[in-house]
Amino acid sequence: MTLAFTALTLRLSPMRSWKLIPCSSHLLYMQTATPSFTRQISMDAKSVASQLKSSGLLRTQGLVGGKWSDSYDGKTIKVYNPATGESIADIACMGGRETNDAISSAYDAFQSWSKTTAAERSKLLRKWYDLLMAHKEELAQLITLEQGKPLKESIGEINYGASFIEFSAEEAKRVYGDIIPAPLSDRRLFVLKQPVGVVGAITPWNFPLAMITRKVGPALACGCTVVVKPSELTPLTALASAELAIQAGIPAGVVNVVMGNAPEIGDAILASPQVRKITFTGSTAVGKKLMAGAAGTVKRVSLELGGNAPCIIFDDADLDVAVKGTVAAKFRNSGQTCVCANRILVQEGIYDKFATAILGAVKNMKVGDGFSEGVVQGPLINEAAVEKVESLLRDATSKGAKVIHGGKRHSLGFTFYEPTVVTDVNNEMRISREEVFGPVAPLLRFKTEEEAIKIANDTNAGLGSYIFTNSVQRSWRVAEALEYGLVGVNEGVISTEVAPFGGVKQSGLGREGSKYGLDEYLEIKYVCLGNMNKE
């Protein structure tokens, strides 16, 4: 079966026409300018792209077995700047054959990489981290160019993403086994931890670096090799980070990158018995397909899937802290994160004050191209994302919700959307049931702590959640009652490389980051030594 686990996305923009372009026997929607609307890429973006190309960080080929490679049939797809709709680069459109070769390269490299000492792997990962930090500005520019987030946020992502490589370099030397007291005197019992094997890492577009390093760092630290499949919307950051991995001295075949035809790449990863684990960040629907597809070869699977994060504001919360934390949790990356505050539950005693305060904060948010000074919100990734936001708002307002700010496309055009605040939302509206993935803050009213917990848990998702209260007792009660893998108390940005990240229910399996994240890439082997009392 064909599993389109990263959709061949329709990159629609206003005033544009569309045509179907074949890519490796599949059809991709590609953007073409109409005669009445021809626009060159902005000088700022063009200058950035030129500088990145001259630095060697703007790569357009895949990486297979340590060699940069075009697609075997010569097909390419375009990468666009979501802030302008303009083409940045044509990248190799790879498919099943290239992926199988990448898997073979990773499998061959595993035979030697898994036998290197932890100290050697640690040193190479540390060199990779140093190079990522040395090229922080260029990498941040690349993220803003292909993903659209403000440059300051992109720099933050480089710091965050690189931290997983640094942490993995440190933890590589701390993958310990055990000695178990034996029940018989002539036996010795050992537990060894060994790398699982070749890993297929499938990453999304919203954090083009961090979602890769969060997977590849621990995999390499444990002795695994990887085949990375980045999103076709944002592959350039992945390729740049792979170039730096090569410069760090990580051996050929240990890190491979293929991108292009998502269904073919996915089928190859799922079918190969040489791939022993899949790690995926993306939608719940796609995660379910991956679980089903992985059953054929009984691969290990770790999944970080969609969320529906509640952000609960209690009457006793510090209003300033609550507003600051909620805005950070909601509007970071234009609302395009799996742990964004999707439903803002406000207790009735503070509801009106909070609505007024968050309205004031949102009104001051500057929207624009991520390279522009003072911008805190960039564009949404594509037209489909804008249309989803519009659909959810139409449903909410038709059922009684009130837009008190925003609620429409921004005057900048393209895929820019106004920061939006909506009041009188209830938990039955689609905007409360589905992941918005846009800059919309829906405010729901509740009366009691018990009611808030019930509303918060009334979803199949269970990734991120947030509480704002000045009561220590309440913070413990509610944190323990929430059915979520992550809980932030009086804080809106809680992700860190030293803590486990992951969800419960249909938000996924396994954890990333921290010492617990390394366990996802290790097999436990029990060894029993007998006849120990004999010469």
Write the pLDDT tens digit of every residue in 85-104: 999 999 999 999 999 999 99
Give the whole-number percent of the chain exceeding pLDDT 90. 89
Tell me how far apart the alpha carbons of residues 146 and 11 are, in angstroms, rounded to a whole number: 13
For the chain, counts of helices (H) and of strands (E): 16, 22
**Tokens (6 digits) for 448:** 């009691």
User: Between the CA of residue 42 and those of 144, 202, 369, 499, what are the distances in Å?
Assistant: 13, 31, 10, 40
Widest distance between CA atoms in the chain: 90
304 catalytically annotated: yes
Q: Identify the pLDDT of residue 52.
A: 83
Question: How does pLDDT run across 220-242, given as a tens digit for each residue?
Answer: 999 999 999 999 999 999 999 99
Residue 21 burial (10 A CB sphere; 0-12, 13-18, 19+): middle
Is 23's pLDDT higher than 70?
Answer: no
Q: Identify the pLDDT of residue 421.
A: 98
Give the whole-number percent of the chain exceeding pLDDT 70. 92
Give the residue ranges of DSSP H helices in 295-407: 319-331, 351-363, 383-398
Segment 416-431 shows an average pLDDT of 98
Is 30's pLDDT higher than 70?
Answer: no
Q: Which distant-in-sequence residues (6+ apart) come within 8 Å of 53 by Cβ? A: none
User: pTM of the predicted model, to two decimals?
Assistant: 0.91
Instruction: Quote the DSSP letter at residue 483.
Output: -
Structure confidence at residue 36 as a pLDDT band (50, 70, 90): very low
Is 41's pLDDT higher than 60?
Answer: no
User: Of 304, 418, 449, 520, which is the active-site residue?
Assistant: 304
Q: Identify the pLDDT of residue 44.
A: 65
Tell me how far apart the alpha carbons of residues 401 and 442 are, in angstroms, rounded to a whole number: 9
Q: Identify the pLDDT of residue 4.
A: 37
Is 10's pLDDT higher than 50?
Answer: no
Segment 395-415 shows an average pLDDT of 97
Tell me how far apart the alpha carbons of residues 266 and 200 are, in angstroms, rounded to a whole number: 9
Mean predicted lDDT score pLDDT of the chain: 92
- Amino acid in the structure at residue 116: T
Segment 450-465 shows an average pLDDT of 98
Tell me how far apart the alpha carbons of residues 162 and 108 are, in angstroms, rounded to a whole number: 27
Q: List Cβ<8 Å contacts ≥24 apart for 25-34.
A: 25/95, 25/261, 25/264, 26/95, 26/261, 26/263, 26/264, 28/77, 28/93, 30/77, 30/78, 31/78, 31/80, 31/85, 31/87
Q: Which distant-in-sequence residues (6+ apart) come within 8 Å of 527 by Cβ? A: 189, 190, 191, 192
Question: How does pLDDT run across 244-259, given as a tens digit for each residue?
Answer: 999 999 999 999 999 9
Structure confidence at residue 55 as a pLDDT band (50, 70, 90): confident
Q: Which distant-in-sequence residues (6+ apart) come within 8 Å of 87 by Cβ? A: 31, 41, 78, 79, 80, 81
**Phi, psi (5° rounding) for residue 282?**
170, -155
Tell me how far apart the alpha carbons of residues 51 and 43 are, in angstroms, rounded to a whole number: 12
Between 37 and 287, the more confident residue is 287
Instruction: Quote the DSSP letter at residue 172.
Output: G
Quick one: three-class SS letters along 218-274?
Answer: HHHHHCCEEEEECCCCCCHHHHHHHHHHHHCCCCCCCEEECCECHHHHHHHHHHCCC
- The edge-to-edge listing of strands for the beta sheet with 402-405 is 402-405, 420-425, 440-446, 341-347, 309-313, 466-468, 488-489
Is 532's pLDDT higher than 90?
Answer: no
Q: Identify the pLDDT of residue 42.
A: 53
Question: How does pLDDT run across 116-167, given as a tens digit for each residue?
Answer: 999 999 999 999 999 999 999 999 999 999 999 999 999 999 999 999 999 9
The dihedral over CA atoms of 430, 433, 438, 440, expressed in degrees to the nearest 10, equals: 70
Is 170's pLDDT higher than 60?
Answer: yes
Between 158 and 26, the more confident residue is 158
Is 15's pLDDT higher than 50?
Answer: no
Tell me how far apart the alpha carbons of residues 79 and 87 are, in angstroms, rounded to a whole number: 6
Interior angle at CA 510, CA 513 and CA 189, nearest 5? 90
